[in-house]
Structure 1
């Protein structure tokens, strides 16, 4: 199976974002770049490898916004 997964959760007063990309899709989607674009939305930063990345932020109230942005970002990459 192949795919891209972006997860977000609140841990206390922190936002946590994770992105994973199967190796067959890393030529189209880079997990580190996805996270770098989403992390500022939750007031944080992050990065990682082409297949896995993570970020932390200070504003968990914006997780829904970040996950919606991920949906839009991934939809744009699939065209």
Structure 2
């Protein structure tokens, strides 16, 4: 069973970036998956959003995927 967690997953499919973010419900008062997704999707030239506990997004800049995924660390550090 998953404890407290913030997850950001990304992949490239047919030259497009696909992103999924999740935040466990006990952390959604401090961190929102939709907010993380907006930042990550913007980093890959796209858009995203969703609920406080789960969000989806994507973009067109596959070369920026690593940078987008790295945004999760400062996002969590600032939110906690």
Q: How many residues align?
A: 78
Q: Structure 2: where are the runs of 5+ without partners?
A: none
Give the structure-1-normalised TM-score.
Answer: 0.91
Give the structure-2-normalised TM-score.
Answer: 0.90
C-alpha displacement of 1:12:
1.7
Q: Does the alignment pair 1:67 with 2:69?
A: yes
**How far apart, in 2, do the equivalents of 1:7 and 1:62 lie?**
14
Q: Structure 1: where are the runs of 5+ without partners?
A: none
**How far apart, in 1, do the equivalents of 2:66 and 2:20 lie?**
14
Once the two structures are superposed, the pairs formed by residues 1-79 of structure 1 within 5 Å of their partners are 1-78=3-80
